[in-house]
Amino acid sequence: MRLDNKVALITGAGRGIGAGIAQRLVEAGAAVVVFDIDAERASSMAGNLARNGRALATHGDVANEDDARRAINRAVAEFGALDVLVNNAGIDRPGAVVDLTSEDWDRQLAVNLKGAFLFCKHAIPHMRGRGGAIVNISSAQALVAYEGYAAYGAAKAGLLGLTRALALDHGRDGIRANAVCPGYITSPMTDEWLARQPDPAATMRQVLSVHPLGRIGTPQDVGDAVLFLASDAASFISGTFLVVDGAMSVAGH
């Protein structure tokens, strides 16, 4: 599974899962564009990656079309092409439907779903005719509802629908589209969720108890899945999703 001479752009790559994906793709030989809403974080991550390969940083809001267009165009201008797009950026604001404000709902759908649409919209013209791979980072919550996460679950489920549409509409362009559905992963988002719990240590023990593999995942675990789907090893795989959750969901959780 190599990506030599390939160019990949990863949104939300300044930390957490996105950073793990970026690291894995650089190790596999790709030139990586780190996109993040935090310019300093993006720059720092790109600097670290550049020690072992080619990387550059760009920043903006995935839900802003001008920012998406600018990032895609910069990737092509700097590296000459765009072969892999990983839509990873996401936010998590808990709340049942009756508790969410319209602003909370709109922002989560904008970042978690519209952002992927915008980056695909501007990346696909650069992939047509030469091929490409799109990997959308969805969630186990797209498949199994979690109490109090109405907007997040809806957006992540929407990503699966978008993935199928991309695979159907652009397969003849040589573009494959797939999704990864992570479960619990060590990341800032998970840390922030734990910090909101009355007893974080007890909550983590409960989380571990529902994982047949006895641990939660790492950003590198997700990075390996993305690398597979982005590489020629998955050349006949499109329009589907890969669950990366340590068998948690098949255990009924």
Residues that are catalytic: 152
230: Cβ–Cβ under 8 A, 6 or more apart, which residues? 3, 6, 8, 25, 84, 86, 133, 135
- Determine the angle formed by the axes of helices 150-170 and 102-109, rounding to 10 degrees: 30
Helix (H, G, I), strand (E, B) or coil at 241: strand
| Calculated CA dihedral for residues 233, 239, 241, 242, nearest 10 degrees | -10
C-alpha span between 156 and 151 (Å, rounded): 9
| Calculated CA dihedral for residues 148, 151, 153, 157, nearest 10 degrees | 160
Ramachandran angles phi, psi of 58, nearest 5°: -145, 155
C-alpha span between 198 and 215 (Å, rounded): 21
C-alpha span between 28 and 61 (Å, rounded): 27
Closest among 2, 8, 11, 49 to 137, alpha carbons compared: 11
Helix (H, G, I), strand (E, B) or coil at 53: coil
